[in-house]
Amino acid sequence: KKADPIAVDKKLTILATSNTAQGITTMGPCVFRDSLSEEQVVPQLLNKMEAKWKVKTAAIIYGDDDQFTKTDYDIFNAALKSDNIEILDVETFHKGDVDFKAQLTKISEKKPQLLVIGALVEEGVKIATQAKQLGLNVHMTGGNGLNSPKFIQNAGAAGDGVVVGAAYYVNGAQSGNAGFVERYNKKFGQKPDQFAAQAYAAAELVAAAVREGATTSEQLCSTFAKMKPVSTVLGPISFLPSRDVKAESAILEVQSGAFAPFK
């Protein structure tokens, strides 16, 4: 939100690999992103959970001092209302907080079926863990901040059952993904997460644009705008007229310490 206007002023083309908040691509005519926005993913996520669990009530806890987590609240709040899900309680916290028991106790008293967590991974882990410690009997979901393997590693058993919407599934059959996972694991000693895959896919998109003859920032912009679907580790992707990515989302559930397709 602060860097992009400077780049736009310098007429630089931007390809954002992990910017999912509202209003990113509207900052300039050459601001693109290959990361699915929360606005694209959240409605699909909620629809699948509502269909499986017949969700009628929800509560939200989110960080009110971070652009990303505030966006989580805005999008989940709007999507829940659109689907006629009653929001029984909304609680907030600040980045760096470690004790969420007061907020979770208030939520527990309202007995929602679904808890929405708008948090970065550090706070998300603590919220999920403390919710389980308090015996909060709810389905849990959250935004992009819970998509990392770090959430699973640090939350342990408390993370099981958490459902997230993602741009990437590490065991997906998309072209080139198996080789990418193997190479990444060999180099870094762990499998790639969504953010690594989005960064790699961005490089694939840039390479595709260069192959089409783009050598300047202006040419990259025009090539991205008219680009046909490119085969990437995220699957085939191109850009919408809004410069948001056109791609399929993956709805995943934490099961026994790993992400698996939510069914």
Rounded CA separation 3/7 (Å)? 7
Token pair belonging to 213: 């003859």
With contact defined as beta carbons under 8 Å apart, do 99 and 127 qualify?
Answer: no
Question: What confidence score (pLDDT) does residue 248 get?
Answer: 85
E strand or H helix at 140: strand 139-142
Asked whether the CA dihedral 201, 246, 193, 2 is positive or negative, the reply is positive
Whole-prediction pTM = 0.79
CB 159 within 8 A of CB 126: no
- Sign of the Cα torsion 232, 234, 235, 239 reads negative
What's the pLDDT at 74? 94
DSSP 228: P
Tokens of 8: 């736009």
Which pLDDT belongs to residue 231?
A: 95
- pLDDT digit string (tens) for the chain, length 263 residues: 899 999 999 999 999 998 888 889 999 999 999 999 888 899 999 999 999 999 999 999 999 999 889 989 999 999 999 999 999 999 999 999 999 999 999 999 999 999 999 999 999 999 999 999 999 999 999 988 898 889 999 999 999 999 999 889 999 989 899 999 999 999 999 999 889 999 999 999 999 999 999 999 999 999 999 999 999 999 999 999 999 999 988 999 999 989 999 98
Q: Where on the phi/psi map is residue 253: left (φ > 0), alpha (ψ -120 to 50), or beta?
A: beta
* Helix 194-211 / helix 217-226 crossing angle, nearest 10 deg: 100
Sign of CA dihedral 93, 94, 95, 100: negative
Give the pLDDT confidence score for residue 145 in this predicted structure.
Answer: 86
Contact 225, 243 (CB under 8 A): yes
